[in-house]
Amino acid sequence: MQNVKQILILGLLAVVSIGIGLWAGMQGDAARQPKSAGYSDLGGDFTLMSDKGPVNTADLRGKVIPIYFGFTHCPDVCITSLSAIAAALKQLSAEERAQIQPLFISIDPERDDPARVGEYVRFFDPGIIGLSGTLEDVSKVAKSHFVIFEKVPLEDSNMGYTMDHSSIIYVVGRDGIIRTLIHHGETPEAIAKALREALAA
Ligand code: NI
């Protein structure tokens, strides 16, 4: 049963990913403005809690913000993505990095308080900020980014449950509008390229 359910969820994630892609493509056609090459109806500003206080994305205007949604108990997907983001950051110059503020948002706030998520992301790169909040706050931000996640009970495990979640890096441009969606499995080189393009825009 578990396998069938996982296949269904993976299928659903794929459909959502394709849906966002098609929808974004249509938005691009409708806009017909070469300058606004972004997903202006996706995402938007939010405030969530880090272990050093609240972070409001509106205060980060002018920086490029790669955003990833996940959770600290994740067995592999988040580790792969955060490792790739960290490796991409290492390919950039100190000057480029100073203009980039990566954010990791926990979709498992029940277990990930700001202290835990902060400590977790700094293991990958000290420049990444980990964010959490109430389930309501986190869900609202996830929903505005079309992130889907689901709590899955685990039998025979003292972890209790895991979280299935979509795995996309949202690259927010200096103007606060999402420029690029980086899908799971992209290389650090591809991520670094997307970040440089956002810096140059
Ligand atoms: Ni994960």
Tokens of 122: 């700094």
| Per-residue pLDDT, 156 | 83
Burial grade of 94 (CB within 10 A; 0-12, 13-18, 19 or more) = exposed
What phi and psi, each to the nearest 5 degrees, are found at residue 113? -80, 170
Q: So what's the pLDDT on residue 38? A: 87
- To which residue do tokens 């979709």 refer? 107
User: Which value, in Å, is the radius of gyration of the alpha carbons in the chain?
Assistant: 17
CATH number of the domain to which 170 belongs: 3.40.30.10
Q: What is the DSSP string of the chain?
A: -HHHHHHHHHHHHHHHHHHHHHHHHHHHHHH--TT--SBTTS----EEEEBTEEEEGGGGTTSBEEEEEE-TT-SSHHHHHHHHHHHHHHTS-HHHHTTB--EEEES-TTT--HHHHHHHHHHH-TTPEEEB--HHHHHHHHHHTT--EEEEE-TT-TT-EEEEE--EEEEE-TTSSEEEEEETT--HHHHHHHHHHHHH-
C-alpha 159 – ligand 1 centre gap (Å): 14
Q: What is the average pLDDT across 120-132? A: 98
The alpha carbon of 33 and the centre of ligand 1 are apart by a number of angstroms equal to: 35
Q: What is the pLDDT of residues 17-69, one digit of tens each?
A: 655 555 555 554 444 444 457 898 899 999 999 999 999 999 999 999 999 99
Distance in Å, CA 49 to ligand 1 centroid: 19
pLDDT digit string, tens, across residues 158-190: 889 999 999 999 999 999 999 999 999 999 999
Average pLDDT, the chain: 88
Q: What is the pLDDT of residue 157?
A: 83
Backbone angles phi, psi at 126, to 5 degrees: -65, -15
- Token digits of residue 75: 């067995």
Which pLDDT does position 126 carry in this prediction?
97
122: CA distance to ligand 1 center in Å?
Answer: 16
| Structure confidence at residue 101 as a pLDDT band (50, 70, 90) | very high
Range of the domain at 139: 2-200
Q: What is the pLDDT of residue 31?
A: 42
- Cα(93) to ligand 1 centroid in Å equals 28
Q: Count the alpha carbons within 13 Å of 108 in the hemisphere toward its beta carbon.
A: 20
Q: Which residues pair with 54 in a beta bridge?
A: 49
**85 CA distance to ligand 1 centroid (A)?**
14
Record the pTM. Answer: 0.83
Question: Is the model's pLDDT at 117 over the cut of 60?
Answer: yes
Count the domains in the chain: 1
* Residues 6 or more apart whose Cβ sits within 8 Å of residue 76: none
CA of 121 to the centre of ligand 1 (A): 12
Percent of the chain with pLDDT over 70: 82
